[in-house]
Amino acid sequence: MRSWMILCALGGVVSLGVGCTTAPPPRTIYVDGATAVRIQPDHKAGKGHSHPASLKPDVIQQILAGVRIQRRGSFVPSVLTGDEPLVAAFSKEEQAFLAPHLSQAFAEAKSDELVTFYRRLSTATTGLAITSGGMLVHDQRLYVILANCRTLPSEGMNQNIVSEIDPVDTPLLPISRTSFRAAFVPGTSVVPEDERWHWPYIDQGRVVAIDLVQLARDLRQSHPPSAP
């Protein structure tokens, strides 16, 4: 929490839209020592999101399975280094674990709210790493904001932040703004940036808009029904 207060004092999170002013507390759908799924007010909802939304756990699990990250490389031209590969943002265990809680959150969310998620993982090789962000449904399009993906709390210290950050209370806060961009497969379900509704965020490279109607078509094509 101390790190969040420091960032507010610097004015660095104003553009995130999560603000430093008093706001209604988020509503908790699920929380334990490593995971939090909540519903929080969205002051950037405009005329309102398409909430509550009916997204079954198996659909959300498939969506989480399609979310990818692509590491942002150095200044060396990609023509020399090649494009960075796409890596799954959520493990299979995370997909199965988060899906029912996110489904419940969408069923309870209001039109001026969004759903947030937070996961922390600690391993002997990397130490503590955090995946967090938010989701919202707007006009049959699911917007995924992947603020952090297996990000170390210390990564922000390379960008003039004075202490480590654990965004357990601020899951839309990116610890590092240079490490990756978000993507989704199949790419045919992704809404091009110039065609999607604009949800203001500090890093549009971490916002993915998924056409839920097209995704249903893509999933049917990839998993056709068995012949009788």
Every domain of the chain and the residues it spans: 2-222
- pLDDT at residue 204, as a whole number: 94
Question: Both tokens of residue 100?
Answer: 């029912």
Q: Report the predicted TM-score, pTM, of the whole model to 2 decimal places.
A: 0.83
- pLDDT at residue 161, as a whole number: 55
CA dihedral 50, 53, 54, 55 (to 10 degrees): 100
- pLDDT at residue 10, as a whole number: 34
Q: Is 219 exposed, middle or buried (0-12, 13-18, 19+ CB in 10 A)?
A: middle
- pLDDT at residue 158, as a whole number: 58
- The alpha-carbon radius of gyration of the chain (Å, integer) is 18
- pLDDT at residue 83, as a whole number: 63
Residues 57-96 as b or e (16 or more Cβ within 10 Å = b): bebbbbbbbbbbbeeeeeeeeeeeeeeeebebbbeeebbe
- pLDDT at residue 82, as a whole number: 54
Question: Given the structure tokens 């005329």, which residue do they identify?
Answer: 47
| pLDDT string in tens for the chain (228-residue length) | 334 433 443 334 434 444 455 678 999 999 999 999 999 999 999 999 999 999 999 999 999 999 999 987 644 444 445 567 899 999 999 999 999 999 999 999 999 999 999 999 987 777 889 999 999 999 999 999 999 999 998 886 655 555 678 899 999 999 987 789 999 999 999 999 999 999 999 999 999 999 999 999 998 887 655 545
Rounded CA separation 132/194 (Å): 25
Question: Given the structure tokens 């978000």, which residue do they identify?
Answer: 182
Half-sphere exposure of 19 (CA within 13 A, CB side): 11
